[in-house]
Structure 1
Amino acid sequence: MLLDVGNFRRLRFLTIWVAGLLSFACAVMTLALQTSSSTQQPATGAVSQPATTAPAGQSATSTPQPSAPGLQTSPGGLNVVVLDAAHGGTDTGARGTGGIQESDLTLEFAAAAERALEQQGFQVLQTRQGNNNPSFDDRSAIANAQRAAVFITLHVASTGIPGTVRVYVNSDLPPVTLANGFIPWDRAQAPYLGLSRKLGDLVQGMLTQQFKGSPDAAQTATIRQLRTTAAPAIAVEVSSVLVNDRADLDHMAPGVADAIARGVAAFKPLYVTASTGGALP
């Protein structure tokens, strides 16, 4: 059977036209779907993070936690005094009539000195505040840990003229520096002996004004508590536990405290910080 060429051509044209129309329609639908999808989905990599809402009354930024309270020291300036009430615990120290114990009296004198020093603007640390007995090294370590401090150990003697007070500084200690540049623990006082003498003389002068018959200048002695202290350090010794009435010693506490505070205040301009193993002026 022979084909009708005219009809075939018309049919072929119609088929091509319909196919083109369908292709165009498909293209339009595909473009519409892609456009709709792009408006509904976020772009890759732009992931939204949930906003962090701070509680009412607080800032959204983190607030640093406050540090534990501590002593604030001025660089190169003296403002800390470490008071050492000697003895304590089972070590009662000197004992007098009527049950007087040195360890009890030194706590009383230390408390009075603390109040007087604070009135002069100093910050005070005490090596003990109860009936305990820290080791010599523990007491020294409190002063050695401070950047700018002096150390005062308080004693009540069983000798001496009652109603008088003496100040001691440690005997000479030749400076020794180890190969690593450190000073041996038992020679810690050596670089500070010059400053200790100045502090001792000033405090002794104030005490002599208050308590007649006391020496005019600080004396030297070998004192275990001072030897391991890396700061200007003195011992203050009140006489004596042999008084008949403890009230006589109690009445001395304010005067001793005032003299210590005024002596330390007078020493403050002379204070310098040790930076080498050599002796300080």
Structure 2
Amino acid sequence: MAGACALVTGLTAPAHAGATAPSVYGPAYVMDAQSGDVLLNHEGAERVPVASLTKTMTAYVVLKTAKPTDLVQIRSRDVAYAEDGGGTTADLRPGDRIPVRELMYGLMLPSGADAAHALARTYGPGVDGFVAKMNATARELGMNDTHYVNADGLPMPGGDGYSTARDQAVLAANALRVPLIKRVAGTRWHSLDADDQHRSYEWRNTNRLLGTPGAIGLKTGFTRAAGYCLAFAGESDGRVLVGVLLDESLSSRRFSTAEALLSWAADRRAA
């Protein structure tokens, strides 16, 4: 699926002249997803932890090979991993068999570390094998300042992974070319009714930018080391604009800043 999508790499186009950009409070990057034109680059090459923005790469790597109808068996260690690591969860229950299509909602909306672990374990095969695929995919996309250590962005005893605002914008542009990722990332809440394979679930999106006209996702993140992070996107006059905010100190400000940046970038594209 994702492998059939055109890649956005090598983004070196300069920002266009125009009105002053809205203020940002950490590394930030905004670009046109189709052309690769860079509209804002503030410390976009600084290597920092990116918390749960990591899960966008997890979704992207899974969907390179998995079928949406594939069933993933939830195991006790998936649940224990999220709980022991202090991560956000999709409240998955051991024994349930959930289609990949549905598990994407558990991964992206409540930012389930349990869902990330289950997917990585299944499609590595094994978590270590899956993380190796994540890093190989990062190289393929030209994300040369990115290193993943797990599938969820939680802190690790041996050291956190890292990326940059620029690299995460490249990932966002490519991930949104995968129809299922785009649909899931733009969903405000999703329910999964019980059947003989699993019990019922209901997940709400942590992305407060959704509901803003034109907004289509993409992913929130937070750890103490990473601060508040947001990969965001919006559509304007048929064009997709993507951006990334990293290491914000205020949770709410990342959403208001992203909204202002999307409006500003749309005006620049129209000029």
| TM bin (shorter chain) | under 0.3
Q: What TM-score, normalized by structure 1, do the two folds share?
A: 0.25
Relative to total residues, which structure has the larger helix share, 1 or 2?
1
Q: TM-score, normalization: structure 2? A: 0.26
